[in-house]
Amino acid sequence: MNTITMTNTMTYKPMNLGRWIVWGLFALILIFAPMVFSSGSSISLLSQIGTVMIFGLSYNMLLGQGGMLSFGHAVYSGLGAFFAIHAMNLASAGKMWMPVTMIPLVGGLAGMFFGILFGYVTTKKSGTTFAMITLGIVELVFACSLMFPEFFGGEGGISTNRVYGEKFLGITYGPQIQVYYLIAFWLFISTIGMFAFTQTPLGRIINAVRDNPERVEFIGYDTQWARYLTLILSGFFAGISGGLSAINFEIVTAENVSALRSGGVLLFTFIGGVGFFFGPMIGAIIGVFLSVMLSDFTKAWQLYLGVFFIVMVMYAPFGVAGIIMLNLRVAKYGKYRRIWPQLCAVSAMALVALVGLIMVVEMLYHLTLESANGTEMKLFGFMVDTAAATPWGVALAILAIGAAGFWHTRKSFKHAWGEVNTEIEDMIRRAEA
Amino acid sequence: MEFTLITLLNGLSYGLLLFMLSSGLTLIFSMMGVLNFAHASFYMLGAYFAYAISIKIGFWPALIIAPLLVGVIGAVVERYGLRSVHKYGHIPELLFTFGLSYVLVEMVQLIWGRAAVPYPIPPELDGPLFTLFTTTFPMYRGFMMLIAVLMLVSIFLVLTKTRIGLVIQAALTHPEMVESLGHNVPRVFMLVFGGGCALAGLAGVIGGNAFVTEPGMAATVGSIIFVVVVVGGMGSLAGALLASLLIGCLQTFAVALDHSIMTLFTAFGATITPETFGYPVLKLTISQVAPIMPYLLLVLILIFRPRGLMGTREG
Amino acid sequence: MSNLSLELKDVRKSFGKSEIIRGANLQVPKGERFAIIGPNGAGKSTLFNLISGRFPVSAGDIKLNGESILGLKPFEINRKGLSRSFQITNIFHRLSVYENLRCAVLWSLGYKYSFWHRLNGLKDAHERAEQVLEQIGLRRRRDTQAGLLTYAEQRALEIGITIAGGCDVILLDEPTAGMSRSESDAAVELIRKVTVGKTLLMVEHDMSVVFGLADKIAVVVYGEVIACDTPANIRNNAKVQEAYLGGHAPVEAA
């Protein structure tokens, strides 16, 4: 890079033009998505994905950018949701002026407030201790939710009607499609906000804190303060997602501030990939799909999600985003042909093993949970008698074949993959020298 | 007087159970730097295994076999799962145990269903131990306390008097040094992890029939033992004991007390009505507040004594 | 006002029952280059850790530019004008070389915890980072992830991060550890260049580096400074010869 001819602000990699294209594309996808997936349930799904995306991105400010593992992030989104829904109820009763469009901001401010409050205690420590404290805080708030039914609504939670107030340009937020565009709007500006954060001094310093907290002290920064501020901002965006959730579902319950929901966002964000800015967005899509759609097909979806998560932790800790980027890099250097056959082989074998595993799990679930309804069940379109030996034999055989095949093919895949990547890294190194 | 004594004994027995659980957690954390999020799930496994064994063979064999089984599973998990994640750092290790806790609960549900299982107290131990004025103290509670104390004493003896205990203590602070001295540190790690899980399993065998044996039991006790470990001080067994007893007694007493700030004020002649400012807080009885007490304690400790009651490391 | 950059007055440090630093006294005038040498385990790194606030002292006083810095946190000491490097390379391994340096200059330029400034628009931070990048000779590695550099490159980056903030008192902890002869020579040149006009305190084992760079040498043995003098006098000091140099001085560096 030639600094002598640089007169104004530096362009950032990728090029300035690239930045406009990416954000423009993002906006276009948001605008046209409901026209492609236009059924009622699809739009509901898209709306939900939208709120979880904001939640996941806010969570990644802590985990991916700051190295802070939190087990209690739902506190900020949940409390934001509660404040938002109370605001909606107050507004629709005429006691306060707050148009629905601005409600997510109420959630955001509430999230930020609690970030200031709880963050002071939680950021006193770091690492594993910080993680445990966040768990303690979320359990505290969750337990409080049963103690204060006036605010938390007890078992039934708090409900609301999002159609209130003056119609603005004909928008009532009654129909789901209008809610979707509200979510899309807030998703767009929140994403810009959170991305902008990564390009600020604090955003970069918190990266340094992630990499080497001790060194950061010796360049003049108080690591605790950096973490505290980042958590407050993260709480703000989490609160926005909570507010949107309140509008979308028109109900907020104690589950919104639970350790379960916190664990969920951790799972989705990690699966998506914490090392890339867009990772949590992928995680949100996968996560909502698995929890909403998969639960319609099988009772064992939580088991699958858990196993999927463990497999990712062990073999692909960089997440789906990382997998995509690695593959893109191989393609960029034109070496995809070298790994293509092995990749196909190992994936095919894995798929076979997976089918066998699913068969076993589903049959087992049926036996233990549904046996009152008889031992027959529908499996991949076939009627199967779980009490008989044949289906079990078939399932176990498929599983065994798949597992053996996978074991056999993974070696050659690993070899090819390793070779190709070493070559790429060499090429990168030589290009810079 | 009677109330205080009985509640104190109940609190102590619950606290000792918490200690059985948190001691394994502390040992694993001190040794390996890994916070075993799945620890409470191993507790649950112990209870379920004991249930399965005791309805086939009996309680006393279950007391021996179930913890061993859980320990073996723990060792296998360490050897084939945790160890391969070790190279990525502490956060992926924590995430691995987090995912594991999830999966273990699901698998238990898969095998034994979602409802609670009737894991019974053995008839020999079912009955009163002694009667204090009008309240009886159950024999089984006494048995729980006995096992917990025996366990505490044996951990202490193993760590301080045996060779393997010395190696463990050394590997606690200087694993690389110990390895270069020729000890098989990975094997020691596997032993400690398995041992810690076995302790959790033992707690499950004892606690599962005293309290309820269901898939939710892991979640119920899971977060509390983390509070115990932080409050006691990361890496301190003595601190874990102190914190367990403290929290055990605190919760047991709290659950039994029906007074609130309101009753206090009314005793002094003040009138509190639903219109009074802060009424929702004032009318809360101590028993209603009981669930959040451990977490309140956690927050207070973090503000006023961040290294815990007896902590030596910053963790 | 003191013309001493750094002053140690009877500093003591015990870890549990073992006293590591047993009454260390040192006076470092402004603008001078000091080397701290001594046998292994003498407490040199501990002294550094005490000065930079990583550990608290058990007794005694440490003054930076005349002001006591006892009990201050590391970042507070850094803001008062003292910066240090580490023996085990402590860089931000997932950030690029350029980003490493840019982070190091942000506080000194007053940007603090700003989340409203656009990093890439900060011309002064950019120029300063590029300047240090040029000085440490890592221009062609500008956008490489710091964790992927060679060992010597990482040590150079380490020095870069230390001086980028513009502190006047620089502490370098074994800057040439593990380097070959030619790498050491390059490092010495770099250190000489970047510490012009600053006060330098350096722990070193390589005697040719010490004798080539230092204005004064302080010898630490068993937690005490047994001698502090010019290199020539140190070479002839009987106590030092006996305790450390093993009875004979090293061959004069060319």
Q: What is the pLDDT of residue A4?
A: 36
DSSP string, A11-22: PPSS-HHHHHHH
Mean pLDDT of B248-267: 79
Give the Cα-Cα-Cα angle A244, A246, A250 (nearest 5 degrees).
130
User: Which residues are registered as beta bridge partners of C14?
Assistant: C19
- Which residue is it, tokens 């004069």? C252
Is the CB of A317 less than 8 angstroms away from the CB of B92?
A: yes
- On whether the CB atoms of residues B67 and B46 are closer than 8 A, the answer is yes
Cis ω before B92 (30° cut-off from 0): no
Q: What is the pLDDT of residue B312?
A: 63
A342-383 pLDDT tens trace: 888 888 888 888 888 888 888 877 777 766 666 667 677 677
Mean pLDDT of C245-252: 52
Interface of A with B in 69-98 (CB under 8 A): 69, 71
Interface predicted TM-score (ipTM) over 0.90: no
Confidence at A12, pLDDT banded by 50, 70, 90: very low
| pLDDT of residue A5 exceeding 50 | no
Q: What is the pLDDT of residue A16?
A: 64
- On whether the CB atoms of residues A115 and A216 are closer than 8 A, the answer is no
Is the CB of C91 less than 8 angstroms away from the CB of A222?
A: no
Is the CB of A207 less than 8 angstroms away from the CB of C92?
A: yes
What per-residue string of b and e applies to A396-418 under the rule 16 or more CB within 10 Å gives b?
A: eebbeebbebbeebbeebeebbe
Positive or negative, the CA dihedral A20, A24, A26, A27 is positive
Which range, of A1-5, A258-262, B236-240, averages the lowest pLDDT? A1-5
Residues contacting A315, CB < 8 A, separation 6+: none
| pLDDT of residue A226 exceeding 90 | yes
Query: Which contacts (CB < 8 Å, 24+ apart) does range A260-265 have?
Result: A261/A74, A261/A77, A261/A78, A262/A70, A262/A71, A262/A72, A262/A73, A262/A74, A262/A75, A262/A134, A262/A138, A263/A71, A263/B98, A263/B102, A264/A291, A265/A52, A265/A55, A265/A56, A265/A59, A265/A73, A265/A74
Mean pLDDT of C4-11: 89
A227-238 pLDDT tens trace: 999 999 999 999
Chain A residues touching B91 at Cβ < 8 A? 67, 69
Q: Which of C91, C99, C143 sits opposite A212 (nearest CB)?
A: C91
User: A189 to chain B nearest CA, in Å?
Assistant: 31
Q: What is the pLDDT of residue B49?
A: 92
Report how far residue B36's alpha carbon sits from residue B28's, in angstroms, rounded to the nearest whole number.
Answer: 7
Assess whether chains B and A touch, using the rule of 3 or more C-beta pairs within 8 angstroms: yes
- On whether the CB atoms of residues A136 and A143 are closer than 8 A, the answer is no
Q: What is the mean pLDDT of chain C?
A: 87
| pLDDT of residue C254 exceeding 60 | no
Q: What is the pLDDT of residue A372?
A: 66
Is the CB of B280 less than 8 angstroms away from the CB of A148?
A: yes
Chain B residues touching A151 at Cβ < 8 A? 280
| pLDDT of residue A396 exceeding 80 | yes
Q: What is the mean pLDDT of chain B?
A: 83
Give the number of A-C residue pairs with CB atoms closer than 8 Å: 116
Q: Which of C75, C118, C161 sits opposite A199 (nearest CB)?
A: C118
Q: Which residue of B has its CA nearest to A301?
A: B106
Assess whether chains C and B touch, using the rule of 3 or more C-beta pairs within 8 angstroms: no
Report how far residue A222's alpha carbon sits from residue A194's, in angstroms, rounded to the nearest whole number.
Answer: 22
Mutate to test the interface with C, among A8, A218, A429 (most CBs of C within 10 A): A218
Q: Which of B84, B219, B229 sits opposite A314 (nearest CB)?
A: B84
Strands C169-173, C199-203: pairing is: parallel
Report how far residue A132's alpha carbon sits from residue B224's, in angstroms, rounded to the nearest whole number.
Answer: 10
Q: Which residue of A has its CA nearest to B84?
A: A314
Positive or negative, the CA dihedral C2, C4, C10, C11 is positive
- Phi and psi of C179, rounded to 5°? -100, 155
Q: What is the pLDDT of residue A8?
A: 33
Q: What is the pLDDT of residue B172?
A: 61
Q: What would the two tokens of residue B151 be?
A: 């366990």
- On whether the CB atoms of residues C186 and C6 are closer than 8 A, the answer is no
Query: Which contacts (CB < 8 Å, 24+ apart) does range A147-151 have?
Result: A147/B284, A147/B288, A147/B289, A147/B291, A147/B292, A148/B280, A150/B280, A151/A82, A151/A86, A151/B280
Q: What is the pLDDT of residue A81?
A: 96
Radius of gyration, alpha carbons of chain C: 19
Chain A residues touching B88 at Cβ < 8 A? 317
CA atoms within 13 Å, Cβ hemisphere of A375: 7
Report how far residue C187's alpha carbon sits from residue B118's, in angstroms, rounded to the nearest whole number.
Answer: 73
Mutate to test the interface with A, among C84, C87, C115, C173 (most CBs of A within 10 A): C115
Strands A251-252, A158-159: pairing is: antiparallel
Domain ranges of chain B: 2-215
Q: How many CB atoms lie within 10 A of CB B285?
A: 16
Q: What is the mean pLDDT of chain A?
A: 86
Q: What is the pLDDT of residue C252?
A: 45
| Helix A223-249 and helix A201-211, axial crossing angle in degrees, nearest 10 | 110
Q: What is the pLDDT of residue B24?
A: 87
Highest mean pLDDT among A72-86, A307-321, C25-39: A72-86
User: B165 to chain A nearest CA, in Å?
Assistant: 26
Q: How many CB atoms lie within 10 A of CB A430?
A: 8
Highest mean pLDDT among A11-20, A407-416, C23-32: C23-32
Q: What is the pLDDT of residue A11?
A: 34
| pLDDT of residue A63 exceeding 60 | yes
A108-124 pLDDT tens trace: 999 999 999 999 989 98
Chain C residues touching A218 at Cβ < 8 A? 52, 74-75, 78, 83-84, 162
Largest CA distance in chain B: 74
Mean pLDDT of A288-313: 86
Mean pLDDT of C140-159: 89
| pLDDT of residue A2 exceeding 50 | no
- Which residue is it, tokens 């040992």? B27
B278-308 pLDDT tens trace: 677 777 777 778 888 889 898 888 778 877 8
Is the CB of C92 less than 8 angstroms away from the CB of A197?
A: no
| pLDDT of residue A433 exceeding 70 | no
Distances (CA, A) of A72 to A8, A138, A143: 43, 5, 13
A189-201 pLDDT tens trace: 999 999 999 999 9
A93-150 pLDDT tens trace: 888 888 888 999 999 999 999 999 999 989 988 888 888 889 989 999 998 888 888 8
| pLDDT of residue B214 exceeding 90 | no
